[in-house]
Structure 1
Amino acid sequence: MYIEKLKEKYFLISKYGTAAALLEWDFETHMPKKAAEKRAEVIGEISGKAFEMAVSDEIGELLMKSEEESLNEIDKAIVRVGKKEYEKFKKIPPDLFKEINISASKAQAAWEEAKIKNDFSIFQPHLEKVVELTKKMADYLGYDENRYDALLDLYEPGLKTSELKKVIEPLRKFLIQYLNKLDEGKKPDNSIMKRYFPIEKQKELSLRALKLMKYDFDAGRMDVAMHPFTTTIGANDVRITTRYNENDLNDSLYSTIHEGGHALYEQGIPEEFSGLPIGDGASMAIHESQSRFWENIIGRSLEFWEYFYNDLVEVFPEFKDYTPEEIFKAVNFVERSFIRTEADEVTYNLHIMLRFEIEEALINDRIKVEDLPEVWNEKMKDYLGIVPGKDSEGVLQDVHWAHGSFGYFPSYMLGNLYSAQFYKKMREDIPELDDKIKKGDFEPALNWLREKIHSKGKMYEPGELVKMVTGELLNPKYFMEYIENKFNKVYEL
Structure 2
Amino acid sequence: MDLFYEKKQEALKIELKEIEYLKYTLNTLLYWDKLIYMPKGAIGYRSEIIQFLSKDIYNRFSSPKFLKLQEYFEKSPKKNEVIEATLKKIKNNSNFVQKIPLKEYEDYMNLITLSEDIWKKAKVENSFDEFSLCLEKIVAHFKNFTKYWGYKKTPYDALLRYYDIDINCDELDILIEDLKKFIIPLVKEIEKNSRDSIAKDFSGEYDFNKQMELSKYILSITGFDFTYGRVDLGEHPTTLAASPKDVRVVTSFDKNDLKVGIYNTFHEAGKGLYEQGISENLLGTLLAEVSSQVLEESQARFYENIVGRDKNISSLILKKIKELFPQLKDKEDIDFYRLVNEVKPSPIRIEADELTYILHIIIRYEIEKDLLEGRLDVKDLPELWNKKYKEYLGVVPKSFSEGVLQDIHWASGYFGFFPVYLIAELYSHQLKKTLEKECNISSENIDVENLKKINIWLRDNIYCHGALYSSKEILKRLTGENLSSKYYIEYLKSKYYKLYNIK
Q: What TM-score does the superposition give when structure 2 sets the normalisation length?
A: 0.94
Kindly, what percent of the aligned residue pairs are identical?
37
Q: Look up the match of 1:168.
A: 176
Matching of residue 321 in structure 1 with residue 330 in structure 2: yes
Deviation at 1:439, TM superposition (A): 4.1
- Is 1:59 the equivalent of 2:77? no
Q: Look up the SS of the partner of 2:411 in the other structure.
A: helix
Residues of 2 paired with 1:235 and 1:434: CA distance? 27
Does 2:372 align with 1:363? yes
Contact 1:261/1:294, CA 8 A, preserved across alignment = yes
Counterpart in 1 of 2:358?
Answer: 349
Partner of residue 418, structure 1: 427
Aligned residue in 2 for 1:272: 281
User: Partner of 2:41 in structure 1?
Assistant: 34
Normalising by structure 1, report the TM-score.
Answer: 0.96
Amino acid at match of 1:214: G
Partner of residue 467, structure 1? 476
Structure-to-structure mapping, 1:140-159, within 5 angstroms: 140-159=148-167
Aligned pair 1:250/2:259, yes or no? Answer: yes
Measured in 2, the distance between the counterparts of 1:257 and 1:129 equals 34
Q: Distance in 1 between matches of 2:308 and 2:417?
A: 24
Does structure 1 conserve the Cα–Cα contact (< 8 Å) formed by 2:244 and 2:279?
no
What letter corresponds to residue 266 of structure 1 in structure 2? Answer: E
How far apart are 1:405 and its partner, in Å?
1.1
Tell me which of 121, 129, 132 is aligned to 1:113.
121
SS at match of 2:376: coil
Residues 60 and 193 of structure 1, relative CA distance in 2, 3 Å threshold: farther
Q: Which residue of 2 aligns with 1:9?
A: 15
Kindly provide the amino acid, as one letter, of the partner of residue 373 in structure 2.
N
- Residue 446 of structure 1 corresponds to which residue in structure 2? 455
Q: Which amino acid aligns with 2:51?
A: G
SS of structure 2 residue aligned to 1:367: coil
Q: Is the 8 A contact 1:131 1:404 kept in 2?
A: no
1:240 aligns with 2:257: no
CA distance in 2, matches of 1:61, 1:486: 56
Give the drift of 1:372.
Answer: 1.1
Please say if residues 311 and 445 of structure 2, whose CA atoms lie closer than 8 Å, have aligned partners that are also in contact: no
Q: Corresponding residue for 2:29? A: 22
Q: How does 1:170-185 map to 2 (within 5 A)?
A: 170-185=178-193
Q: Is the 8 A contact 2:315 2:336 kept in 1?
A: no
Tell me the secondary structure at the aligned position of residue 373 of structure 1: helix
Q: Distance in 1 between matches of 2:386 and 2:443?
A: 41
SS in structure 2 opposite 1:333? coil
Report the alpha carbon displacement of residue 341 of structure 1 after superposing the two structures with TM. 0.5
The Cα of 1:57 is off from its aligned counterpart by 3.9
1:85 to 72, 78, 93: 93
The answer to whether structure 1 residue 332 and structure 2 residue 331 are counterparts is no
Paired AA for residue 32 in structure 1: P
Q: Per-residue deviation at 1:441?
A: 4.8
Q: Does the C-alpha gap of structure 1 residues 27 and 134 become closer, same or farther in structure 2, counting only changes over 3 Å?
A: same
1:44 and 1:102 in contact (8 A); partners too: yes
Match of 1:47 in 2: 54
**Secondary structure at the counterpart of residue 183 of structure 1:** helix
Q: 1:12 to 1:393 in 2, by over 3 A?
A: same
Amino acid at match of 2:468: M
AA matched with 1:414:
I
* Paired residues of 1:116 and 1:392 also in contact (CA < 8 A): yes
> Per-residue CA shift, 1:418-476, capped at 9, x if unaligned?
11111121111223345883246521011111112112211222222111111101111
Structure 2 unmatched ranges of 5 or more? none
Asked if structure 2 preserves the Cα contact closer than 8 Å seen for 1:224 and 1:241, the reply is yes
Residue 312 of structure 2 corresponds to 303
- Deviation, structure 1 residue 121: 1.0
Distance change (3 Å), C-alpha of 1:11 and 1:385: same
Distance in 2, Cα, partners of 1:432 & 1:441: 7
* Structure 1 range deviating more: 356-365 or 58-67: 58-67
Indicate the RMSD between aligned Cα atoms, in angstroms: 1.8
**Secondary structure of the corresponding residue to residue 342 of structure 2:** coil
Paired residues in the alignment total 493
Residues 307, 440 of structure 1: 8 Å contact kept: no
- Which letter does structure 2 place at the counterpart of 1:470? T
- Residue of 140, 147, 151 corresponding to 1:139: 147
Q: What's the offset of the Cα at 1:378? A: 1.4
Deviation of residue 84 (structure 1)? 3.1
Q: What is the rounded CA distance, in whole Å, between the counterparts of 2:163 and 2:61 in structure 1?
A: 18
* Other structure's SS at 1:337 match: coil
Deviation, structure 1 residue 61: 2.5
Moved more, 244-253 or 63-72: 63-72
| Separation in 1, partners of 2:113, 2:491 | 39
SS at match of 1:472: coil
CA deviations 1:153-206 (Å, max 9, x no partner) are 111243212221111111111111111222244555445332221212111111
Q: Which amino acid aligns with 2:273?
A: L
Which whole-Å CA distance do the structure 1 matches of 2:414 and 2:108 have between them? 11
Query: Aligned to 1:293, which of 280, 302, 318?
Result: 302
Q: Return the alpha-carbon distance in structure 1 between the equivalents of residues 167 and 108 of structure 2.
A: 24
Letter in 2 for 1:132: A
Q: Distance in 1 between matches of 2:95 and 2:345?
A: 44
Partner amino acid, structure 2, of 1:321: D
d(CA) in 2 for partners of 1:435, 1:412 = 22
Residue type at the aligned position of 2:226: F
Matched with 1:398 is 407
Q: Mind listing any 5+ residue stretches in structure 1 that lack a counterpart?
A: none
Query: Which has the higher mean CA deviation after the structures are superposed, 49-58 or 247-256?
Result: 49-58
Q: Which moved more, 1:459-468 or 1:436-445?
A: 436-445
Amino acid at match of 1:106: L
CA distance in 2, matches of 1:191, 1:227: 28
> d(CA) in 2 for partners of 1:375 and 1:23?
36
1: CA distance between counterparts of 2:66 and 2:172?
Answer: 33
SS of 1:287's equivalent in the other structure is helix
Residue type matched to 1:413 in 2?
Answer: L
Query: Aligned-pair distance for 1:18?
Result: 2.0
SS at 1:391 equivalent: coil
Distance 2:40 2:391 in 1: 38
Moved >6 Å (runs of 4+): none
Offset, 1:365: 1.5
What's the counterpart of residue 223 of structure 1? 232
- Structure 2 counterpart SS, 1:193: coil
1:275 & 1:239 partners in 2: Cα distance? 20
Structure 1 residues 308-317 or 224-233, which shifts more? Answer: 308-317
1:123 is matched with which residue? 131
